[in-house]
Amino acid sequence: MKKLLFITAIVFSCVGVKANNIQISNVSVVPTNNTIKFDVSWDNSWRSSLLNNWDAAWVFFKYKNVNGAWQHMYLTNIGNTIPSGFTSSIATSPFGVGTFLYRSAAGSGTSTLTNVELGIEAAQATGIFDISAYCIEMVYVPQASFYVGDGVSDGSYFPVTNIASNITTLVDPLATPTSISSTTFPNGYNAFYCMKYELSQGGYRDFLNSLTYNQQVSHIVPLPTISSGSAALVNLFRNTIRIKTPGVIATPTNTPAVFGCDANNNGIYDEATDGEWVACNYLNWVDHAAYLYWAGLRPLTELEFEKTARGILLPVSNEYAWGNSFINTTPFTFSNLNEASEIVTNAAASPLGNSVNGGTVGSGPLRNGIFATATSNRISSGAGFYGVMELTGNLYERVVSTRVATGLAYKGDHGTGVLSSNGFAGNGITNIFWPNINTVNFYIDGTVFSSSLIDKGGSIQPTSLNYLKTSDRYPFSPTTRERYTGVRGCRSAQ
């Protein structure tokens, strides 16, 4: 009988942002227990008993044989060891794609979990593997009634009081009001976890580095064989992802490219000044959907977006995500550009968190969480009601619309962690469980668009403050890559 060797060659990767210094380390596999063992920590963690609300680390793993492709590692929920004071909530639909780790009781400060062990399949506990560990900071949005719309920016507002609320679809003057009632469309009433920050440059880099050559082709602008130092997307407006090592076309298997961040364009990748903490722009819907599917998450709906921003409070006319209608319009000045400590140096004069004027960064997105400090509040940090950041400003976020049948057919299915051979979510952009693109016409401001998706939250684009309002809905082209659009996802609580 052939003896299997066990070797751990760890590739550390923390998807999302390090705004709260979230990191996973000391990853190994324990073959005798069929478990994966690791430490995870993040700063400024909390659990509120008043709001029944907390932040959490979404942790998942990929593995590969020496010459193989990266595969998703599924958790069995058997043999888990969780440090005292914390809870693990293994995702079971579909499979054990990952786990949420969070405080068991009210408290705040740095969360440090050491020697966490999670059960994995026996076949993945023995062999010759590389292991890549990922963590994304999430926020728990509890089950609760809430309001959609602010009565001004969209002309109406109404309550969502149960999972099948019969509500009037948000409308524009040229549209005909309709009513929806569904127990399957994620209308925001039920609890869910939302990404605390928009996807970062470093997060998308890590995603690309887990793909095969053919999958990479679908998610960058040039071919993976382009020369070292070439932009993976667009070398403009703070997008810093570049080809570190070109891919190779060969028989029988093409070698994928290796990507890195290089904001200062000096040919040395992933330095402390290379911008991996800046929100990632120039991603289209195909990229957006694939990333979420790969991470075991799903798209937000427009109703979930508004609940995340407004919480259980009554609407305020023309409000932004921080709960009032006041906004800073003075161009920002910065220090520590492209670093994890990048800050706005003149924010104190107008302490309202948004990124409508990019100032010295040239109208590009900012570091995720840039307005939050140890002493900031909801207004000065620009946070939504539950503590999710940059729901107003930085980058637009695509959400599933209630306007058309293809949007309302969305049931909130989660990604499995496995993409198609060409790198698409599920079976590609025609995935029957997630919104398709270019299907049913709908009207906004007299213009016809073909999509069941819309943009929310505004961006660094300085043309109109209206786009930044919580209840504003903005059309977009789902196929193009724009400097103003980013990615945020969620996952239903189980």
Residues 349-360: pLDDT tens digits? 554 555 555 544
Residue 184: pLDDT band with limits 50, 70, 90: confident
Provide the percentage of residues in the chain whose pLDDT is more than 90: 56
Model's pTM, two decimal places? 0.92
- Judged against a pLDDT cut of 90, whether residue 58 lies above it is answered with yes
The two structure tokens encoding residue 157: 């507002």
CA distance 134 to 195: 14
| pLDDT recorded at residue 7 | 34
CA 351 to chain centre: 25
Residue 13: pLDDT band with limits 50, 70, 90: very low
- Judged against a pLDDT cut of 60, whether residue 175 lies above it is answered with no
Residue 11: pLDDT band with limits 50, 70, 90: very low
Q: What is the mean predicted confidence (pLDDT) over 269-276?
A: 96
Bridge partners (DSSP) listed for residue 79: none
Q: Which amino acid is at 35?
A: T
Q: How far does the chain reach from its first CA to its final CA, in angstroms? A: 42
CA distance 462 to 476: 16
Taking residue 269's Cβ as centre, other Cβ atoms within 10 Å add up to 21
State the residue for tokens 């009601």. Answer: 385
The two structure tokens encoding residue 385: 């009601």
Q: What is the mean predicted confidence (pLDDT) over 235-253?
A: 93
Provide the percentage of residues in the chain whose pLDDT is more than 70: 83
| pLDDT recorded at residue 442 | 40
Burial label, 13 (beta-carbon count in 10 A; 0-12, 13-18, 19+): buried
Q: What is the mean predicted confidence (pLDDT) over 243-262?
A: 95
| pLDDT recorded at residue 445 | 44
Q: Which residues contact 119 (CB under 8 A, 6 or more apart)?
A: 33, 34, 35, 75, 76, 77, 78, 79, 80
Taking residue 223's Cβ as centre, other Cβ atoms within 10 Å add up to 15
- Judged against a pLDDT cut of 50, whether residue 197 lies above it is answered with yes
| pLDDT recorded at residue 118 | 97
CA distance 458 to 469: 7
More reliable by pLDDT, 266 or 403 = 266
Q: Which residues contact 418 (CB under 8 A, 6 or more apart)?
A: 71, 72, 293, 294
- Judged against a pLDDT cut of 80, whether residue 404 lies above it is answered with no
Tell which residue, 141, 55, 145, 142, has the closest CA to residue 106.
55
- Judged against a pLDDT cut of 90, whether residue 281 lies above it is answered with yes
| pLDDT recorded at residue 313 | 96
Q: Which residues contact 471 (CB under 8 A, 6 or more apart)?
A: 148, 149, 150, 153, 154, 157, 170, 306, 315, 319
Q: What is the mean predicted confidence (pLDDT) over 471-491?
A: 87
H-only helix segments in 13-150: 122-125
Q: Which DSSP category does 256 fall into? A: P
- HSE-up of 183 (CA within 13 Å, CB side)? 0
Number of residues written out for the chain: 494
| pLDDT recorded at residue 267 | 95
More reliable by pLDDT, 9 or 394 = 394
- Judged against a pLDDT cut of 90, whether residue 242 lies above it is answered with yes
CA distance 312 to 75: 34
- Judged against a pLDDT cut of 60, whether residue 10 lies above it is answered with no
| pLDDT recorded at residue 177 | 47
SS3 of residue 19 by DSSP: coil
Beta strands in 202-269 (DSSP E): 241-245, 258-261
- HSE-up of 173 (CA within 13 Å, CB side)? 4
| pLDDT recorded at residue 473 | 82
More reliable by pLDDT, 269 or 376 = 269
> Which H or E run includes 454?
strand 453-456
pLDDT in tens, 425-466: 876 555 557 876 544 444 344 444 456 788 999 887 766 788
- HSE-up of 153 (CA within 13 Å, CB side)? 23
Strands 298-299, 437-444: pairing is unpaired
For residue 285, is it left (φ>0), alpha (ψ between -120 and 50) or beta? alpha
CB 35 within 8 A of CB 125: yes
